[in-house]
Amino acid sequence: MRELPTLRPGGQIVRFAAVGGVNTVTFYACYLPLHRLLPYFAAYTAAFAASLAGAFFLHTYVTYRTRPTWTKFLLFPLTQVTNYSVQSAGLVALVGWCGLDTAVAPLVAALCALPFTYLVSRRILRPPARTGPAAARPGPSAQAGPPPARSGEAA
């Protein structure tokens, strides 16, 4: 299979923010109708859960240009634990302490969570290259020189 191109970290941050914007619009489009039917925090939680799968595929393909795998898919909710925690704390603080309107507070909380979520999602979806003894050993294709002669062949 063809390898996807790697990205400069600056490009990833821009893509991350753009994908986050799309995901926030998706989240908000779910949140507003639910907010009319449910208490604000229940509506927030349901909208957050609804946008999770879309966020995984957008970040996998667009932000980090890597292939989705079941392992990444199963680990991706861990990246969102950070997002959910920071946004939830921000939401409660903005509504309860600052008196911000419950229709606007989730957007402000999402902006506050952006740097934390980027760092954690990058670690999960684009893990660093392996280092150590196993990574340092050359594989068969990295060996120098011609392949060894088979028995019965002239060297």
Q: Where are the domains of the chain?
A: 9-127
State residue 144's pLDDT score: 46
Q: How far apart are CA 36 and CA 57, in angstroms?
A: 29
Closest CA to 58 of 88, 109, 24, 35: 24
> What confidence category does residue 134 fall into, taking pLDDT thresholds of 50, 70 and 90?
low
SS3 label, residue 54? helix
Given a cut of 60, whether residue 1 has pLDDT beyond it is: no
d(CA 112, CA 133): 40
pTM (two decimals)? 0.59
pLDDT in tens, 77-86: 888 788 889 9
CA distance 63 to 83: 16
Can you read off the two tokens belonging to residue 49? 């859960």
